[in-house]
Chain A
Amino acid sequence: MFEAILLTVITAATPLLIAAIGELVVERSGVLNLGVEGMMIMGAVVGFAVANQTGSGALGVVGAILAGMAMSALFGFLVLFLVANQVATGLALTILGIGLSGMIGEAFIGVPGLKIPELYIPVLSDIPFIGPVFFQQDALVYLSFALVGLVAYGLFRTRMGLVLRAVGDNHGSAHALGFSVIKVRFLAVLFGGACAGLAGAYMSLAYTPQWVENMTAGRGWIALALVVFASWLPFRVIIGAYLFGAVGVLNLHAQAIELDIPSQFLSSLPYLATIVVLVLISANRRLTLVNTPACLGKPFVPDR
């Protein structure tokens, strides 16, 4: 029982983790991309469509990543080159993504999907409990952890990360020192788009291997909240993602043990939990003020 719950938690947490770590990088560079939901749903539908047409899960994943990046490039062009309002543009991205995915996905409703296979590591995978939980996941689960490690290393141990943090902290100074604020941010936005696309692919190729309209159901928004929850520190995103993953699967297991609670109430738990967590985090002004990238959401126009 516990093992089964844990396994569902992992699959529920993985897309949140991937999308949130991407958005963390974006926000560290000083850009707020509220369009995670839109990029994710596009990743889900393109991932499904490509996998379905080519029969290859890997190609599906690549397609999803490219779709997420294409969406984020659109966002990046507007907010970085045209200095459009970031909040409104992020919303536009989500609205567009939901519409476009619905249009693309119409042909795939009810089509049986393709599931990314779980890895099988001889001996290790056969250990009871530990085997299935730690050594019998699909590749994307391991990739999600690798991503967090990579982002943490990149942000705090490389020059590239130093420049990215500098741009997010004070774009005026970064510009004065000769860094291309817009280029750095655009690359960060593309990375965020790639992650959101990948997270979407996980939804339609691993979590529930099928295409359902609006299947991300607000997970992109929860990923945004996770970045705040993690106060922009990569490893804390893991805690948040698994916490929210656990809340998300409560519904499933509560029905299994026949709890007499309306399913709608359990379904609303992740959203309510997000609100509660945001309140708890933001009420601590010291914590949020110190860690928030100082230029988050602020427009930048270089003087030339």
Chain B
Amino acid sequence: MRLELVKRKERSASMAVMSPLVAVGLTALAAAIIFAISGVNPLVGLYEFFIDPLTERWSLEATIAKATPLILIGCGLAVCYLSNNWNIGAEGQFVVGALFGSALPVLFPSFENALTLPLMLIFGAVGGALWALIPAVLKTRFNTNEILTSLMLVYVASLLLDYLVRGPWRDPDGFNFPESRIFSDAATLPDVFGGLMSLATPITIVIAIVLAIVLAKTLKGFEIRVMGESPRAGSFAGFSAKKLTIFSFALAGALAGLAGTMEVSAALNQLLPSISPGYGFTAIIVAFLGRLNPIGIIIAGFVLALSYIGGEGVQSGLGVSNEIASVIQGLLLFFVLACDTLILYRVRLVTRKVSATTGEPSHV
């Protein structure tokens, strides 16, 4: 008896929709087991983790606020992954973007006018893009593996942030705490709907929708899909793999940098030694769970944001380590990848070899 994969002639459209749903279901099952092992009633655990955050307005808003950077970064990463560029350094691009965006309010606190915020956002996007261009240029120029270089730059970016916050950018009136000065109102992204959400959320949604149209309808989107599946055919179509590598890294870096700046401006209001609970890595899961489609990513971003809020919830409510959030995130990515197999393959169970009498193979 063994499992066999049988290639489908064409990708299964229904599985493409089902796969993320099945993955979420399996993850919930695995989470229930983990809760049981941790000595918590699995049903209570699941409720606290996945459902409770949705029942109150504040926690719903907090979830959306957390989802915002995940969606924005995930959209950029989707463009990278669709075109076969393995940018896994979004965390670093987020941080460097935040540093560029914060340069204005930290170094020139008196520069307070209507231009402050737009300039910050532009600087943030540029900073993230520049940081992302390092692995992109190394890949196109020297053929260097972008996976490792983009990741190494995450560590470098975090150390750079640490150095600045503890050193030159430390708040002069901050009693030696490792943090920058608090941003002025002009440098703070306004709240919307009077709650925990800032202008970052509508900006992100608009960007995701525009990107969805670009990917589905334009020649650029066509280029990205062709290059990802078949670089040789892409070059036959006259597309340049190198230019697309530069483009996709720059775009992903810009979106991550923008997310970083908006997070610092809206949520934290200052620079701290650590400004991200791993958004750049979680966004990788968001991108895959959303099937590398911006609309899917909006939904997936919300699901993953739920895991952050849910993790805090079970820690305070049930005394389970909030590390469970990253365990569940990791499991979710595993299940998504496993279920994606079903889009291109059918799995069949071969129970025994050949029935001698009929000559028919017997499968289940």
* Same complex origin of A and B: yes
- The reply to whether B152 and A271 contact each other, CB–CB distance below 8 Å, is yes
Q: Which of A49-57, A120-128, A139-147, A272-280 contacts B (4 or more CB under 8 A)?
A: A272-280
B316 at interface by CB-CB < 8 Å: no
Q: Which of B110-118, B217-225, B263-271, B323-331 contacts A (4 or more CB under 8 A)?
A: B323-331
B281 at interface by CB-CB < 8 Å: yes
Contact partner of B152 (CB less than 8 A), chosen from A81, A95, A97, A274, is A274
Contact partner of A301 (CB less than 8 A), chosen from B5, B321, B323, is B5
Contact partner of B145 (CB less than 8 A), chosen from A82, A228, A285, is A228
Q: Which chain B residues (137-157) contact chain A, with CB distance < 8 Å? A: 138, 142-145, 147-149, 151-153, 155-156
The digit string for A79-92, where 1 denotes a CB below 8 A from any CB of B, is 00111110111011
- The reply to whether A275 and B153 contact each other, CB–CB distance below 8 Å, is yes
Residues in B neighbouring A224, C-beta threshold 8 A: 148
Contact partner of A279 (CB less than 8 A), chosen from B138, B151, B323, B341, is B138
Contact partner of B331 (CB less than 8 A), chosen from A82, A88, A96, A272, is A96
Nearest-neighbor residue (CB-CB) of A100 within chain B: B327
- The reply to whether B145 and A278 contact each other, CB–CB distance below 8 Å, is yes
- The reply to whether B155 and A268 contact each other, CB–CB distance below 8 Å, is yes
Nearest-neighbor residue (CB-CB) of A281 within chain B: B144
- The reply to whether B156 and A103 contact each other, CB–CB distance below 8 Å, is no
Q: 10 tightest A-B contacts by CB? A: A96-B330, A99-B326, A102-B323, A92-B333, A264-B163, A99-B327, A103-B323, A95-B330, A264-B159, A84-B337
- The reply to whether B143 and A99 contact each other, CB–CB distance below 8 Å, is no
Residues in B neighbouring A264, C-beta threshold 8 A: 159-160, 162-163
Nearest-neighbor residue (CB-CB) of A266 within chain B: B159
Q: Give the CA-CA distance A98 to B324 in the complex, in Å.
A: 11
Q: A78-B337, A88-B337 are in contact. Are A272 and B143 (CB under 8 A)?
A: no
B3 at interface by CB-CB < 8 Å: yes
Contact partner of B143 (CB less than 8 A), chosen from A89, A100, A283, is A283
Q: How many A-B residue pairs have CB under 8 A?
A: 138
Query: Nearest Cβ in chain A — how far from B202, in angstroms?
Result: 29
- The reply to whether B331 and A91 contact each other, CB–CB distance below 8 Å, is no
- The reply to whether A268 and B159 contact each other, CB–CB distance below 8 Å, is yes
Nearest-neighbor residue (CB-CB) of B282 within chain A: A95
Q: Which chain A residues (93-145) contact chain B, with CB distance < 8 Å? A: 93, 95-100, 102-103, 106
- The reply to whether B156 and A84 contact each other, CB–CB distance below 8 Å, is no
> How many residues on chain B are close to A (CB under 8 Å)?
47
A262 at interface by CB-CB < 8 Å: yes
Residues in B neighbouring A102, C-beta threshold 8 A: 321, 323, 326
Query: Nearest Cβ in chain A — how far from B286, in angstroms?
Result: 12
Residues in B neighbouring A74, C-beta threshold 8 A: 334
Q: Give the CA-CA distance A96 to B163 in the complex, in Å.
A: 29
Residues in A neighbouring B331, C-beta threshold 8 A: 96
B338 at interface by CB-CB < 8 Å: yes
Query: Nearest Cβ in chain B — how far from A37, in angstroms?
Result: 9
The digit string for B75-94, where 1 denotes a CB below 8 A from any CB of A, is 00000010000101000000
B4 at interface by CB-CB < 8 Å: yes
Contact partner of A278 (CB less than 8 A), chosen from B149, B163, B341, is B149
A225 at interface by CB-CB < 8 Å: yes
Q: A99-B329, A282-B142 are in contact. Are A92 and B334 (CB under 8 A)?
A: yes
Q: Which chain A residues (214-264) contact chain B, with CB distance < 8 Å? A: 217-218, 221, 224-225, 228, 262, 264
- The reply to whether B151 and A221 contact each other, CB–CB distance below 8 Å, is yes
Q: Give the CA-CA distance A274 to B138 in the complex, in Å.
A: 13
Q: Give the CA-CA distance A84 to B337 in the complex, in Å.
A: 6
- The reply to whether B338 and A82 contact each other, CB–CB distance below 8 Å, is yes
